[in-house]
Structure 1
Amino acid sequence: MSATTPTASIPTIDFQDFPSQSQKLIQTSVKWGCFRLINHSIPAALMAEMKATVRTLLDLPMEIKQRNRDVIAGSGYVAPSNSNPLYEGLGLYYMGSPEAVHEFCSQLEASPSQRETIVKYSEAVYNLAMDIGRKLCQSMGLDMDLFKEWPCQFRINKYNFTPESIGSSGVQIHTDSGFLTLLQDDDCVGGLEVMDEKSGEFVSVDPLPGSILVNFGDVAKVWSNGKFCNVRHRVQCKEAAIRISIAFFVLGPKEAAIEAPPELVDMEQPRLFVPFTYEDYRKLRLSTGLRAGEALALLRRST
Protein backbone atom coordinates (compact mmCIF):
# COMPACT_ATOMS: atom_id res chain seq x y z
CA MET A 1 0.00 0.00 0.00
CA SER A 2 2.93 2.34 0.60
CA ALA A 3 4.37 2.20 -2.93
CA THR A 4 4.50 5.45 -4.88
CA THR A 5 3.74 5.59 -8.58
CA PRO A 6 5.21 8.46 -10.62
CA THR A 7 3.13 7.82 -13.74
CA ALA A 8 -0.40 8.80 -12.71
CA SER A 9 -1.38 12.39 -12.00
CA ILE A 10 -4.40 13.93 -10.35
CA PRO A 11 -6.90 15.77 -12.56
CA THR A 12 -7.04 19.51 -13.16
CA ILE A 13 -10.30 21.46 -13.06
CA ASP A 14 -10.58 24.82 -14.84
CA PHE A 15 -12.76 26.95 -12.57
CA GLN A 16 -13.68 29.35 -15.36
CA ASP A 17 -14.99 26.54 -17.57
CA PHE A 18 -18.31 25.73 -15.90
CA PRO A 19 -20.77 24.17 -16.55
CA SER A 20 -18.57 22.36 -19.12
CA GLN A 21 -16.43 20.98 -16.27
CA SER A 22 -19.40 19.74 -14.22
CA GLN A 23 -19.22 16.09 -15.26
CA LYS A 24 -15.44 16.02 -14.81
CA LEU A 25 -15.82 17.53 -11.34
CA ILE A 26 -18.15 14.73 -10.20
CA GLN A 27 -16.08 11.97 -11.83
CA THR A 28 -12.95 13.34 -10.20
CA SER A 29 -14.65 13.58 -6.81
CA VAL A 30 -15.63 9.92 -7.04
CA LYS A 31 -12.37 8.49 -8.43
CA TRP A 32 -9.72 10.65 -6.76
CA GLY A 33 -11.31 12.82 -4.09
CA CYS A 34 -8.90 15.59 -5.06
CA PHE A 35 -7.99 17.83 -7.98
CA ARG A 36 -5.92 20.83 -8.99
CA LEU A 37 -7.99 23.98 -9.41
CA ILE A 38 -6.72 26.46 -11.99
CA ASN A 39 -8.10 29.83 -13.11
CA HIS A 40 -9.66 30.33 -9.69
CA SER A 41 -10.48 33.63 -8.01
CA ILE A 42 -7.50 34.10 -5.63
CA PRO A 43 -5.02 36.55 -7.23
CA ALA A 44 -1.51 35.21 -7.78
CA ALA A 45 -0.02 38.28 -6.10
CA LEU A 46 -2.11 37.67 -2.96
CA MET A 47 -1.02 34.02 -2.88
CA ALA A 48 2.63 35.11 -3.05
CA GLU A 49 2.13 37.71 -0.30
CA MET A 50 0.42 35.14 1.89
CA LYS A 51 3.22 32.62 1.46
CA ALA A 52 5.79 35.23 2.46
CA THR A 53 3.70 36.21 5.50
CA VAL A 54 3.28 32.58 6.54
CA ARG A 55 7.02 31.95 6.30
CA THR A 56 7.66 34.94 8.58
CA LEU A 57 5.05 33.86 11.14
CA LEU A 58 6.42 30.34 11.33
CA ASP A 59 9.92 31.73 11.92
CA LEU A 60 8.71 33.62 15.03
CA PRO A 61 10.18 32.73 18.44
CA MET A 62 8.53 29.76 20.13
CA GLU A 63 7.07 31.87 22.94
CA ILE A 64 5.10 33.95 20.42
CA LYS A 65 3.89 30.97 18.38
CA GLN A 66 2.64 29.32 21.58
CA ARG A 67 0.20 32.24 22.05
CA ASN A 68 -1.75 30.68 19.15
CA ARG A 69 -3.93 28.66 21.51
CA ASP A 70 -6.39 25.86 20.76
CA VAL A 71 -10.10 26.56 20.48
CA ILE A 72 -10.69 22.87 19.85
CA ALA A 73 -8.00 20.22 20.17
CA GLY A 74 -5.27 20.77 17.60
CA SER A 75 -6.63 24.05 16.23
CA GLY A 76 -3.77 26.23 17.51
CA TYR A 77 0.00 25.96 17.39
CA VAL A 78 1.35 22.45 16.90
CA ALA A 79 5.02 21.94 17.73
CA PRO A 80 7.19 19.16 16.30
CA SER A 81 6.36 15.86 18.02
CA ASN A 82 7.66 12.31 18.21
CA SER A 83 5.08 11.19 15.63
CA ASN A 84 5.67 14.17 13.29
CA PRO A 85 9.13 15.56 14.18
CA LEU A 86 9.59 17.53 10.95
CA TYR A 87 6.26 19.38 11.11
CA GLU A 88 4.97 22.44 12.92
CA GLY A 89 1.97 24.63 12.26
CA LEU A 90 -0.22 27.52 13.35
CA GLY A 91 -4.00 27.43 13.23
CA LEU A 92 -7.18 29.43 13.36
CA TYR A 93 -10.56 27.93 14.19
CA TYR A 94 -13.45 29.50 12.28
CA MET A 95 -11.67 31.51 9.63
CA GLY A 96 -15.04 32.76 8.39
CA SER A 97 -15.22 35.08 11.42
CA PRO A 98 -13.45 38.45 10.95
CA GLU A 99 -13.11 38.72 14.74
CA ALA A 100 -11.32 35.36 14.91
CA VAL A 101 -8.99 36.36 12.08
CA HIS A 102 -8.00 39.57 13.88
CA GLU A 103 -7.49 37.68 17.14
CA PHE A 104 -5.16 35.27 15.33
CA CYS A 105 -3.16 38.22 13.97
CA SER A 106 -2.95 39.81 17.42
CA GLN A 107 -1.74 36.59 19.04
CA LEU A 108 1.20 36.51 16.64
CA GLU A 109 1.90 40.27 16.71
CA ALA A 110 1.33 40.50 12.96
CA SER A 111 2.37 43.81 11.41
CA PRO A 112 -0.29 46.00 9.76
CA SER A 113 0.76 44.80 6.30
CA GLN A 114 0.77 41.15 7.40
CA ARG A 115 -2.65 41.60 8.99
CA GLU A 116 -3.98 43.12 5.78
CA THR A 117 -2.64 40.18 3.76
CA ILE A 118 -4.13 37.60 6.13
CA VAL A 119 -7.52 39.33 6.13
CA LYS A 120 -7.61 39.58 2.32
CA TYR A 121 -6.49 36.00 1.88
CA SER A 122 -8.98 34.65 4.40
CA GLU A 123 -11.83 36.43 2.60
CA ALA A 124 -10.63 35.24 -0.82
CA VAL A 125 -10.20 31.58 0.14
CA TYR A 126 -13.50 31.55 2.06
CA ASN A 127 -15.37 32.93 -0.95
CA LEU A 128 -13.68 30.39 -3.23
CA ALA A 129 -14.70 27.52 -0.94
CA MET A 130 -18.31 28.71 -0.95
CA ASP A 131 -18.23 28.93 -4.75
CA ILE A 132 -16.85 25.39 -5.01
CA GLY A 133 -19.72 24.21 -2.83
CA ARG A 134 -22.23 25.88 -5.13
CA LYS A 135 -20.65 24.42 -8.29
CA LEU A 136 -20.53 20.99 -6.70
CA CYS A 137 -24.25 21.11 -5.93
CA GLN A 138 -25.12 22.50 -9.36
CA SER A 139 -23.09 19.71 -10.99
CA MET A 140 -25.15 17.15 -9.03
CA GLY A 141 -28.46 18.82 -9.81
CA LEU A 142 -28.97 19.91 -6.18
CA ASP A 143 -30.46 23.26 -5.22
CA MET A 144 -28.77 24.12 -1.92
CA ASP A 145 -26.21 26.46 -0.37
CA LEU A 146 -24.02 23.65 0.86
CA PHE A 147 -21.42 25.28 3.14
CA LYS A 148 -23.46 28.21 4.46
CA GLU A 149 -22.44 29.05 8.06
CA TRP A 150 -20.26 25.95 8.40
CA PRO A 151 -17.16 26.38 10.60
CA CYS A 152 -13.95 26.67 8.59
CA GLN A 153 -10.49 26.03 9.98
CA PHE A 154 -7.18 27.47 8.80
CA ARG A 155 -3.73 25.90 9.19
CA ILE A 156 -0.36 27.14 8.01
CA ASN A 157 2.30 24.46 7.91
CA LYS A 158 6.07 24.27 7.89
CA TYR A 159 8.15 21.17 7.20
CA ASN A 160 11.76 21.38 8.34
CA PHE A 161 13.27 18.94 5.84
CA THR A 162 17.00 18.23 6.27
CA PRO A 163 19.48 16.00 4.39
CA GLU A 164 19.13 13.44 7.18
CA SER A 165 15.34 13.33 6.88
CA ILE A 166 15.14 12.54 3.15
CA GLY A 167 12.93 9.50 2.66
CA SER A 168 11.13 9.92 5.98
CA SER A 169 7.59 11.03 6.72
CA GLY A 170 6.69 14.70 7.13
CA VAL A 171 3.07 13.90 8.02
CA GLN A 172 1.69 10.40 8.36
CA ILE A 173 -1.10 8.88 6.26
CA HIS A 174 -4.47 10.43 7.07
CA THR A 175 -7.74 11.69 5.67
CA ASP A 176 -9.13 15.10 6.49
CA SER A 177 -12.05 14.88 8.91
CA GLY A 178 -14.16 17.62 7.31
CA PHE A 179 -15.80 18.03 3.92
CA LEU A 180 -13.36 20.03 1.83
CA THR A 181 -9.76 21.24 2.02
CA LEU A 182 -8.30 24.01 -0.12
CA LEU A 183 -4.52 23.83 -0.09
CA GLN A 184 -2.03 26.34 -1.38
CA ASP A 185 0.95 24.03 -1.35
CA ASP A 186 4.58 24.97 -1.83
CA ASP A 187 5.20 25.96 -5.44
CA CYS A 188 8.83 24.83 -5.27
CA VAL A 189 9.13 21.96 -2.79
CA GLY A 190 7.10 18.79 -3.35
CA GLY A 191 6.41 15.88 -1.02
CA LEU A 192 2.61 15.62 -0.94
CA GLU A 193 1.27 12.24 -2.05
CA VAL A 194 -2.33 11.04 -2.43
CA MET A 195 -3.57 7.47 -2.60
CA ASP A 196 -5.14 6.05 -5.72
CA GLU A 197 -7.98 4.10 -4.10
CA LYS A 198 -8.17 1.60 -6.95
CA SER A 199 -4.51 0.55 -6.91
CA GLY A 200 -3.64 1.41 -3.32
CA GLU A 201 -0.53 3.19 -4.57
CA PHE A 202 0.49 6.72 -3.68
CA VAL A 203 0.70 9.34 -6.41
CA SER A 204 3.08 12.28 -6.14
CA VAL A 205 1.33 15.65 -6.29
CA ASP A 206 3.90 17.78 -8.01
CA PRO A 207 3.90 21.57 -7.47
CA LEU A 208 1.84 23.62 -9.90
CA PRO A 209 2.37 27.33 -9.18
CA GLY A 210 -0.80 29.40 -9.00
CA SER A 211 -3.12 26.43 -8.50
CA ILE A 212 -5.13 25.37 -5.46
CA LEU A 213 -5.31 21.70 -4.49
CA VAL A 214 -8.79 20.57 -3.41
CA ASN A 215 -9.20 17.47 -1.20
CA PHE A 216 -12.37 15.76 -0.01
CA GLY A 217 -12.54 14.45 3.56
CA ASP A 218 -14.64 12.07 5.63
CA VAL A 219 -17.69 14.36 5.85
CA ALA A 220 -17.83 14.48 2.02
CA LYS A 221 -17.85 10.68 1.95
CA VAL A 222 -20.88 10.61 4.26
CA TRP A 223 -22.71 13.54 2.63
CA SER A 224 -22.37 11.94 -0.82
CA ASN A 225 -23.71 8.63 0.55
CA GLY A 226 -20.39 6.93 -0.05
CA LYS A 227 -19.82 8.20 -3.59
CA PHE A 228 -17.02 10.73 -3.04
CA CYS A 229 -13.54 9.53 -2.18
CA ASN A 230 -12.17 10.75 1.16
CA VAL A 231 -8.65 10.77 -0.16
CA ARG A 232 -5.84 9.39 1.99
CA HIS A 233 -2.67 11.43 1.77
CA ARG A 234 0.71 12.01 3.37
CA VAL A 235 3.77 14.23 3.11
CA GLN A 236 7.17 12.68 2.42
CA CYS A 237 10.56 14.37 2.68
CA LYS A 238 12.12 14.28 -0.79
CA GLU A 239 14.66 17.07 -0.53
CA ALA A 240 16.46 19.11 2.11
CA ALA A 241 14.39 22.30 2.07
CA ILE A 242 11.76 24.19 4.04
CA ARG A 243 8.30 23.34 2.73
CA ILE A 244 5.39 25.72 3.37
CA SER A 245 1.69 25.03 2.83
CA ILE A 246 -1.50 26.94 3.60
CA ALA A 247 -4.64 24.89 4.25
CA PHE A 248 -8.28 25.96 4.57
CA PHE A 249 -10.73 23.33 5.85
CA VAL A 250 -14.51 23.42 5.42
CA LEU A 251 -15.46 21.19 8.36
CA GLY A 252 -19.16 20.40 8.73
CA PRO A 253 -22.41 21.93 9.99
CA LYS A 254 -22.01 23.64 13.35
CA GLU A 255 -24.89 21.80 15.03
CA ALA A 256 -26.96 19.99 12.40
CA ALA A 257 -26.38 16.31 11.77
CA ILE A 258 -24.35 15.24 8.74
CA GLU A 259 -26.24 12.99 6.36
CA ALA A 260 -26.76 12.54 2.64
CA PRO A 261 -29.43 14.75 1.02
CA PRO A 262 -32.64 12.86 0.14
CA GLU A 263 -31.83 13.23 -3.57
CA LEU A 264 -28.79 10.97 -3.11
CA VAL A 265 -30.71 8.19 -1.35
CA ASP A 266 -33.15 5.68 -2.84
CA MET A 267 -34.06 1.99 -2.74
CA GLU A 268 -31.06 1.04 -4.86
CA GLN A 269 -28.71 3.33 -2.92
CA PRO A 270 -29.89 3.25 0.70
CA ARG A 271 -28.42 5.54 3.31
CA LEU A 272 -25.02 4.13 4.31
CA PHE A 273 -24.24 6.05 7.50
CA VAL A 274 -26.11 7.02 10.63
CA PRO A 275 -26.48 10.80 11.09
CA PHE A 276 -23.88 12.42 13.35
CA THR A 277 -22.57 15.86 14.18
CA TYR A 278 -19.13 16.98 13.11
CA GLU A 279 -18.12 17.60 16.72
CA ASP A 280 -19.05 14.03 17.70
CA TYR A 281 -17.10 12.69 14.74
CA ARG A 282 -14.06 14.80 15.55
CA LYS A 283 -14.07 13.41 19.09
CA LEU A 284 -14.49 9.87 17.75
CA ARG A 285 -11.38 10.21 15.60
CA LEU A 286 -9.42 11.57 18.54
CA SER A 287 -10.56 8.90 20.99
CA THR A 288 -9.99 5.96 18.64
CA GLY A 289 -6.81 7.23 16.99
CA LEU A 290 -8.32 6.30 13.63
CA ARG A 291 -7.11 9.11 11.38
CA ALA A 292 -7.27 7.64 7.87
CA GLY A 293 -11.02 7.31 7.37
CA GLU A 294 -11.39 4.06 9.32
CA ALA A 295 -13.60 5.72 11.94
CA LEU A 296 -16.40 5.95 9.37
CA ALA A 297 -16.80 2.16 9.56
CA LEU A 298 -18.04 2.66 13.13
CA LEU A 299 -20.89 4.81 11.79
CA ARG A 300 -22.07 2.64 8.92
CA ARG A 301 -25.62 1.37 9.07
CA SER A 302 -26.02 -2.37 9.53
CA THR A 303 -27.37 -4.12 6.44
Structure 2
Amino acid sequence: MTWALPTAVHTFCSQLDASPRQREVIEMYAKAVHELSMDLAGKLAQSMGSIRTDLFEGWPCQFRINKYNFTPETVGSTGVQIHTDSGFLTILQDDENVGGLEVMDKSGTFVVVDPEPGTLLVNLGDVATVWSNGRLCNVKHRVQCKEATIRVSIASFMLGPRAEAAVEALAELVDSEHPRLYTSFSYEYYRKLRQSTKLHAGEALELVRVQPSH
Protein backbone atom coordinates (compact mmCIF):
# COMPACT_ATOMS: atom_id res chain seq x y z
CA MET A 1 0.00 0.00 0.00
CA THR A 2 1.26 3.50 -0.84
CA TRP A 3 0.36 4.96 2.51
CA ALA A 4 1.11 8.59 1.62
CA LEU A 5 -2.01 8.54 -0.58
CA PRO A 6 -5.42 8.57 1.15
CA THR A 7 -6.98 6.66 -1.75
CA ALA A 8 -4.44 3.85 -1.31
CA VAL A 9 -5.23 3.67 2.41
CA HIS A 10 -8.95 3.45 1.67
CA THR A 11 -8.37 0.68 -0.89
CA PHE A 12 -6.16 -1.22 1.55
CA CYS A 13 -8.83 -1.06 4.25
CA SER A 14 -11.49 -2.24 1.80
CA GLN A 15 -9.33 -5.21 0.78
CA LEU A 16 -9.04 -6.15 4.44
CA ASP A 17 -12.78 -5.70 4.90
CA ALA A 18 -11.85 -3.50 7.88
CA SER A 19 -14.50 -2.38 10.30
CA PRO A 20 -15.07 1.38 10.72
CA ARG A 21 -12.95 1.37 13.88
CA GLN A 22 -10.17 -0.64 12.25
CA ARG A 23 -10.23 1.70 9.26
CA GLU A 24 -9.93 4.70 11.55
CA VAL A 25 -6.91 3.20 13.35
CA ILE A 26 -5.15 2.27 10.08
CA GLU A 27 -5.73 5.73 8.62
CA MET A 28 -4.42 7.42 11.77
CA TYR A 29 -1.37 5.14 11.84
CA ALA A 30 -0.58 5.72 8.15
CA LYS A 31 -0.81 9.49 8.55
CA ALA A 32 1.33 9.53 11.70
CA VAL A 33 4.07 7.27 10.31
CA HIS A 34 4.20 9.21 7.03
CA GLU A 35 4.67 12.45 8.96
CA LEU A 36 7.34 10.81 11.11
CA SER A 37 9.29 9.51 8.11
CA MET A 38 9.26 12.95 6.49
CA ASP A 39 10.37 14.56 9.74
CA LEU A 40 13.24 12.09 10.18
CA ALA A 41 14.36 12.51 6.57
CA GLY A 42 14.26 16.30 6.94
CA LYS A 43 16.37 16.18 10.09
CA LEU A 44 18.91 13.93 8.33
CA ALA A 45 19.12 16.47 5.50
CA GLN A 46 19.62 19.33 7.97
CA SER A 47 22.35 17.40 9.73
CA MET A 48 24.08 17.04 6.35
CA GLY A 49 24.03 20.79 5.79
CA SER A 50 21.00 21.15 3.52
CA ILE A 51 18.64 24.08 4.05
CA ARG A 52 16.04 22.88 1.52
CA THR A 53 12.64 21.92 2.90
CA ASP A 54 11.29 20.22 -0.24
CA LEU A 55 13.93 17.53 -0.73
CA PHE A 56 11.60 14.62 -0.06
CA GLU A 57 8.37 16.09 -1.42
CA GLY A 58 6.41 13.49 -3.36
CA TRP A 59 8.73 10.58 -2.58
CA PRO A 60 6.62 7.39 -2.74
CA CYS A 61 6.14 5.41 0.44
CA GLN A 62 4.82 1.91 1.04
CA PHE A 63 3.28 0.07 3.94
CA ARG A 64 3.52 -3.69 4.50
CA ILE A 65 2.29 -6.07 7.16
CA ASN A 66 4.50 -9.14 7.54
CA LYS A 67 3.03 -12.31 9.05
CA TYR A 68 5.26 -15.27 9.82
CA ASN A 69 3.74 -18.65 10.65
CA PHE A 70 6.66 -20.26 12.47
CA THR A 71 6.30 -23.98 13.15
CA PRO A 72 8.33 -26.37 15.35
CA GLU A 73 10.12 -27.54 12.18
CA THR A 74 11.27 -24.00 11.32
CA VAL A 75 12.74 -23.11 14.73
CA GLY A 76 16.38 -22.18 14.25
CA SER A 77 15.97 -21.37 10.56
CA THR A 78 15.90 -18.00 8.82
CA GLY A 79 12.46 -16.47 8.32
CA VAL A 80 13.80 -13.63 6.16
CA GLN A 81 17.21 -13.87 4.49
CA ILE A 82 19.97 -11.31 5.00
CA HIS A 83 19.11 -8.14 3.10
CA THR A 84 19.20 -4.38 3.09
CA ASP A 85 16.16 -2.27 2.28
CA SER A 86 16.36 -0.79 -1.21
CA GLY A 87 14.83 2.57 -0.32
CA PHE A 88 15.81 5.52 1.83
CA LEU A 89 14.30 4.90 5.23
CA THR A 90 12.20 2.22 6.93
CA ILE A 91 10.15 2.58 10.09
CA LEU A 92 9.45 -0.83 11.61
CA GLN A 93 6.91 -1.64 14.29
CA ASP A 94 8.17 -5.02 15.37
CA ASP A 95 6.20 -7.76 17.09
CA GLU A 96 6.18 -6.81 20.78
CA ASN A 97 5.97 -10.43 21.93
CA VAL A 98 8.03 -12.44 19.45
CA GLY A 99 11.69 -11.70 18.75
CA GLY A 100 13.82 -12.74 15.81
CA LEU A 101 15.11 -9.53 14.24
CA GLU A 102 18.89 -9.32 13.95
CA VAL A 103 21.06 -6.54 12.46
CA MET A 104 24.68 -6.78 11.33
CA ASP A 105 27.22 -4.52 13.04
CA LYS A 106 30.41 -3.14 11.49
CA SER A 107 32.37 -6.27 12.36
CA GLY A 108 29.95 -8.45 10.41
CA THR A 109 28.42 -9.95 13.55
CA PHE A 110 24.65 -10.21 13.88
CA VAL A 111 23.21 -8.48 16.93
CA VAL A 112 19.83 -9.51 18.33
CA VAL A 113 17.27 -6.71 18.49
CA ASP A 114 14.87 -7.73 21.23
CA PRO A 115 11.32 -6.40 20.90
CA GLU A 116 10.64 -3.37 23.07
CA PRO A 117 6.95 -2.51 23.58
CA GLY A 118 6.03 1.03 22.57
CA THR A 119 9.05 1.61 20.34
CA LEU A 120 9.75 1.89 16.62
CA LEU A 121 12.90 0.79 14.80
CA VAL A 122 14.41 2.93 12.03
CA ASN A 123 16.54 1.36 9.27
CA LEU A 124 18.42 3.16 6.51
CA GLY A 125 18.52 1.58 3.06
CA ASP A 126 20.59 1.65 -0.13
CA VAL A 127 19.13 4.95 -1.39
CA ALA A 128 20.27 6.64 1.84
CA THR A 129 23.84 5.48 1.16
CA VAL A 130 23.77 6.97 -2.36
CA TRP A 131 21.98 10.16 -1.28
CA SER A 132 24.54 10.79 1.49
CA ASN A 133 27.50 10.01 -0.81
CA GLY A 134 28.46 7.09 1.39
CA ARG A 135 28.15 8.84 4.74
CA LEU A 136 25.04 6.93 5.84
CA CYS A 137 25.21 3.15 6.10
CA ASN A 138 22.54 0.80 4.81
CA VAL A 139 21.68 -1.81 7.44
CA LYS A 140 21.94 -5.53 6.75
CA HIS A 141 19.34 -7.45 8.73
CA ARG A 142 17.43 -10.73 8.88
CA VAL A 143 14.67 -12.47 10.83
CA GLN A 144 15.40 -15.74 12.65
CA CYS A 145 12.72 -18.18 13.78
CA LYS A 146 13.05 -18.33 17.57
CA GLU A 147 9.85 -20.14 18.50
CA ALA A 148 6.88 -21.90 16.96
CA THR A 149 4.32 -19.11 16.88
CA ILE A 150 2.89 -16.34 14.71
CA ARG A 151 5.06 -13.23 14.38
CA VAL A 152 3.66 -9.98 12.95
CA SER A 153 5.51 -6.78 12.05
CA ILE A 154 4.53 -3.58 10.25
CA ALA A 155 7.08 -1.97 7.93
CA SER A 156 6.67 1.51 6.47
CA PHE A 157 9.11 2.27 3.65
CA MET A 158 10.14 5.68 2.33
CA LEU A 159 11.50 4.62 -1.05
CA GLY A 160 13.09 7.29 -3.24
CA PRO A 161 12.31 10.09 -5.70
CA ARG A 162 9.17 9.56 -7.76
CA ALA A 163 9.00 8.45 -11.39
CA GLU A 164 12.21 9.07 -13.35
CA ALA A 165 13.63 11.62 -10.92
CA ALA A 166 17.23 10.88 -10.03
CA VAL A 167 18.56 9.17 -6.94
CA GLU A 168 21.84 11.01 -6.44
CA ALA A 169 24.12 12.43 -3.79
CA LEU A 170 23.09 15.62 -2.05
CA ALA A 171 24.96 18.49 -3.74
CA GLU A 172 26.31 19.72 -0.41
CA LEU A 173 28.13 16.41 0.06
CA VAL A 174 30.04 16.42 -3.24
CA ASP A 175 33.26 18.42 -3.66
CA SER A 176 36.88 17.95 -4.69
CA GLU A 177 37.68 16.13 -1.46
CA HIS A 178 34.50 14.04 -1.58
CA PRO A 179 33.88 13.05 -5.23
CA ARG A 180 30.58 11.51 -6.23
CA LEU A 181 30.63 7.79 -5.36
CA TYR A 182 27.56 6.63 -7.28
CA THR A 183 26.02 7.40 -10.65
CA SER A 184 22.54 8.93 -10.87
CA PHE A 185 19.65 6.52 -11.45
CA SER A 186 15.93 6.22 -10.89
CA TYR A 187 14.63 4.26 -7.94
CA GLU A 188 12.65 1.98 -10.26
CA TYR A 189 15.82 1.18 -12.21
CA TYR A 190 17.65 0.27 -9.02
CA ARG A 191 14.76 -1.85 -7.71
CA LYS A 192 14.74 -3.85 -10.96
CA LEU A 193 18.54 -4.13 -10.84
CA ARG A 194 18.38 -5.73 -7.40
CA GLN A 195 15.69 -8.13 -8.56
CA SER A 196 17.43 -9.17 -11.78
CA THR A 197 20.82 -9.70 -10.14
CA LYS A 198 19.39 -11.21 -6.94
CA LEU A 199 21.75 -8.93 -5.01
CA HIS A 200 19.58 -8.02 -2.03
CA ALA A 201 22.13 -7.23 0.67
CA GLY A 202 23.51 -3.96 -0.65
CA GLU A 203 25.89 -5.53 -3.17
CA ALA A 204 23.96 -3.97 -6.07
CA LEU A 205 25.37 -0.60 -5.05
CA GLU A 206 28.68 -1.69 -6.51
CA LEU A 207 26.96 -1.90 -9.92
CA VAL A 208 26.09 1.83 -9.78
CA ARG A 209 29.37 3.01 -8.30
CA VAL A 210 31.26 5.65 -10.25
CA GLN A 211 34.22 4.05 -11.96
CA PRO A 212 37.51 5.83 -11.23
CA SER A 213 39.06 7.59 -14.21
CA HIS A 214 42.52 6.52 -15.34
TM-score tier, shorter chain, comes to: over 0.9
* Structure 1 counterpart of 2:171, from 262, 270, 276: 262
Aligned to 2:120: 212
Cα deviation, residue 226, structure 1: 1.0
User: Which residue is equivalent to 1:128?
Assistant: 36
* d(CA) in 1 for partners of 2:198, 2:157: 20
Structure 2 distance, partners of 1:281, 1:265, is 21
Partner deviation per Cα, 1:123-147 (whole Å, 9 max, x = no partner): 0100111111121122222112332
What are the ranges of 5 or more consecutive residues in structure 2 without an aligned counterpart? none
Q: TM-score, normalised by structure 2?
A: 0.95
Q: Which amino acid aligns with 2:70?
A: F
Q: Given the alignment, which residue of 187, 190, 197 partners 1:278?
A: 187
Contact 1:165 1:237 in 2 (8 A): yes
Unmatched segments (≥5 aa) in structure 1:
1-91
What secondary structure does 1:170 align onto?
Answer: strand
Residue equivalent to 1:89: none
Residue aligning to 1:223: 131
Deviations, residues 92-132 of structure 1 (Å, cap 9, x unaligned): 1x210000110111122111111111111000100111111
Q: Distance in 2 between matches of 1:218 and 1:128?
A: 20
- Is 1:251 matched with 2:165? no
Instruction: Give the number of aligned pairs.
Output: 210
Q: Structure 2 CA distance, aligned partners of 1:162 and 1:115?
A: 31
State the distance in 2 between where 1:151 and 1:157 align: 20
Name the amino acid aligned to 2:149: A
Give the conservation status (yes or no) of the 8 Å contact 1:147–1:250: no
* Cα distance, 1:161 vs structure 2: 1.4
Paired residue type of 2:192: K
Once the 2 structures are TM-superposed, how far is the Cα of residue 293 of structure 1 from its aligned partner?
0.8
Q: Which amino acid aligns with 1:290?
A: L
Distance 2:160 2:193 in 1: 15
Contact 1:180 1:220 in 2 (8 A): yes
Please tell me whether the aligned partners of residues 66 and 154 of structure 2 are also in contact (alpha carbons under 8 angstroms): yes
Moved over 3 A (4+): none
Partner of 1:180: 89
Distance 1:140 1:226 in 2: 12
2:56 is the alignment partner of 1:147: yes
Q: CA deviation at 1:163?
A: 2.0
- Equivalent positions of 1:1-303 (< 5 A) are 92=1, 94-145=2-53, 146-196=55-105, 198-255=106-163, 256-303=165-212
Distance 1:288 1:272 in 2: 21
What's the CA shift for 1:164?
1.9
Q: Contact between 2:49 and 2:172, CA under 8 Å: does it hold in 1?
A: no
Q: Normalised by the size of structure 1, how large is the TM-score?
A: 0.68
Amino acid at match of 1:261: L
